[in-house]
């Protein structure tokens, strides 16, 4: 009996924690993610897929630090030591990597953010974190990182006196590389990759767009070659409706880089700051547009608003 009691004393808290975690997973995946980001993994950052809705007047300095494991003959450095950002402002920075050896080498990066209390608010939209990356002999690439600091940072008592957040990367040699990606995809002249584009589309566009129906944003099936602001049944901003644009690889690239700058007055709140991501997204949209041409022509006869 005594022994049973003792076991129960140990087990009960475990069950409580387990139940709490399951409840969190079931009812609040977002909370669970934050919980995991906040505990156990000091300085773990958050992965976000689109801009925050608000930007604030408060600024914070984000400093960059880079390290390379001693057995990895790579040079790896941030292009800038630090940047000042408004909370909520999306920012693009680059890290330079170069393979100094005569052999192709696969490596992967780990990262953390200090002080640890700021990790919860540090959101990366685009980065090369944790992927196994290959650099060919003497190859050099610029790797983009797009991030923002959540405006809620300003309200957290733990961060009241924090004016600098440091993002630190360490590149390690991968002993048994499997499924490594070639870092040359970050080169400006790399071939467009519609498969990567589809992944980006899922992560960053499907909150508002689908290929065959209107959501918060207009349907994007068949967008390449289509006049801007022309999907039946979607309520466009007057600015986009009267923009007189036709979507092509070039106009889509400009649109994605900064919709509100490209066509002042439009309502899309998302920007894709780095060139390789835009290139791959456009390749994906081109691919799905080829397949959509036929069914679009059929749909054109249907009454507006029925699909």
> Shortest gap between Cβ of 55 and ligand HEC (angstroms)?
15
Beta strand 59-68 with 82-86 is: antiparallel
Interface residue with ligand HEC, options 88, 89, 255, 274 (CB under 6 A) = 255
281 binds ligand HEC per the rule CB under 6 A: yes
* Pair 240, 262: CB distance under 8 Å: no
Task: Copy the structure tokens of residue 74.
Answer: 């790579």
- Minimal distance, residue 229 CB to ligand HEC, in Å: 5
Q: Using CB under 6 A, which of 270, 273, 283, 292 touches ligand HEC? A: 270
Distances (CA, A) of 17 to 24, 28, 160, 234: 10, 15, 30, 47
Q: Where are the beta strands (DSSP E) in the chain?
A: 46-47, 59-68, 74-78, 82-86, 91-99, 105-114, 122-126, 132-135, 140-149, 164-173, 181-182
Q: Interface residues for ligand HEC in 181-240 (CB under 6 A)?
A: 204-205, 207-209, 216-218, 220, 223, 228-229, 231, 236-237, 239-240
Residues 14-43 binding ligand HEC (CB under 6 A) are none
**Residues 44-63, mask of contacts with ligand HEC (x by CB under 6 A):** ------x-------------
Stretch that binds ligand HEC, among 71-79, 126-134, 182-190, 264-272 (CB under 6 A): 264-272
- Residues 123/147, Cβ–Cβ less than 8 Å: yes
Closest approach of Cβ 47 to ligand HEC, in Å? 15
- Kindly tell me which of 115 and 225 has the beta carbon lying closer to ligand HEC: 225
Q: Helix 249-257 vs helix 275-299: angle between axes, to the nearest 10 degrees?
A: 120
Count of residues binding ligand HEC (CB under 6 A)?
Answer: 29
- Which residue do the tokens 């990790």 mark? 119
**Owner of token pair 């975690």:** 21
Q: Which stretch binds ligand HEC (CB under 6 A): 1-9, 118-126, 187-195, 268-276?
A: 268-276
Question: Which of 175, 152, 222, 147 lies closest to 71 in space, CA to CA?
Answer: 175
Question: Which residues here bind ligand HEC, judged by CB under 6 A?
Answer: 50, 204-205, 207-209, 216-218, 220, 223, 228-229, 231, 236-237, 239-240, 247, 252, 255-256, 266-270, 272, 281
């Amino acid at each position: 009996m005594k022994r049973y009691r003792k076991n129960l004393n140990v087990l009960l808290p475990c069950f409580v924690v387990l139940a709490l975690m399951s409840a969190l997973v079931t009812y609040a995946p977002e909370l669970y993610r934050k919980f995991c980001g906040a505990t156990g993994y000091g300085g773990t950052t958050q992965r976000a897929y689109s801009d925050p809705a608000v930007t604030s007047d408060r600024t914070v300095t984000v400093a960059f630090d880079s390290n390379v494991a001693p057995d990895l003959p790579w040079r790896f450095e941030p292009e800038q030591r630090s940047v000042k950002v408004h909370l909520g402002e999306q920012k693009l920075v680059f890290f330079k990597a170069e393979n100094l050896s005569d052999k192709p080498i696969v490596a992967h990066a780990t990262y953390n953010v200090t002080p640890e209390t700021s990790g919860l608010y540090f959101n990366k939209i685009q980065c090369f974190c944790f992927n196994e990356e290959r650099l060919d002999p003497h190859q050099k690439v610029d790797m983009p990182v797009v991030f923002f600091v959540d405006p809620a940072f300003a309200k957290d008592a733990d961060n009241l006196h924090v004016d600098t957040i440091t993002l630190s990367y360490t590149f390690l040699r991968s002993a048994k590389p499997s499924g490594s990606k070639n870092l040359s995809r970050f080169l400006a002249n790399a071939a467009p990759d519609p498969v990567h584009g589809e992944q980006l589309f899922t992560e960053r566009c499907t909150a508002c767009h689908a290929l065959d129906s209107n959501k918060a944003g207009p349907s994007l099936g068949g967008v390449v070659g289509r006049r801007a602001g022309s999907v039946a049944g979607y309520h466009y901003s007057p600015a986009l409706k009267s923009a007189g644009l036709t979507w092509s690889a070039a106009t889509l690239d400009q649109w994605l880089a900064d919709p509100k700058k490209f066509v002042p007055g439009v309502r899309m709140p998302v920007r894709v700051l780095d060139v390789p991501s835009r290139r791959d997204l456009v390749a994906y949209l081109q691919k799905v547009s080829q397949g959509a041409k036929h069914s679009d022509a059929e749909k054109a006869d249907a009454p507006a608003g029925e699909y």
